Copies of this chain bind each other. A is one copy, B any other.
Amino acid sequence: MSVTKIHTIKVEFGDCDPAGIVFFPNFLRWYDAAASHFFQDCGIPDWRDAEKTHGILGIPVVDLQTRFVKPATYGDTVEIHTSVIEWNAKTFVMKHELKRNGELLHEGRIIRVFATRHPDDPSRSKAVPVPEDFREKCS
């Protein structure tokens, strides 16, 4: 059973489109915030400090899949339930379930890597193995 953290979002008028429902790229914006909060809630330092301790700059996305079950709209308060459902050597898979009053509205599976600054070019980044202590704290 993996650790799950919850990040709460109030859906605002400006998050919605002329159909009156959430403009779908906003789900991804919220999942990105939920990913950072997940790691911090598990005791991982934020990415600014993680660079000093582990050389980790952030967690770029390599692949994502989402499924739309029911629309959300402004006035809704939704909960995003986030966990890491798979740890690989260099990648990990996060699952996000977005619920309103316990009912699933949308879900995403996002594959990410831990990135460090590229040794030959500080403006580029490079995937590194998942730090063992990060994995332990988040499992």
Contacts and interface: CB of A to CB of B under 8 A. Distances in A.
Q: How many copies does the complex hold?
A: 4
6 contacts: A13-B33, A17-B17, A23-B29, A62-B68, A63-B68, A64-B65
A138 interface: no
Interface string A102-114: 0000000000000
A32 interface: yes
Given A26-B25, A61-B24, A75-B46, A16 B18 contact: yes
Interface of A: 10, 12-14, 16-21, 23-26, 28-29, 32-33, 36, 46-48, 57-58, 60-68, 71, 74-75, 123, 125
A20 B58 contact: no
Main secondary structure of the interface of A (DSSP, over half): mixed
Nearest to A108: B64
Contacts of A26: 25
Contact of A23 (B14, B36, B62, B75): B14
B18 A25 contact: no
Most buried by B among A10, A12, A71: A12
Contacts of A58: 13, 19
Given A63-B66, A75-B46, A125-B19, A12 B32 contact: yes
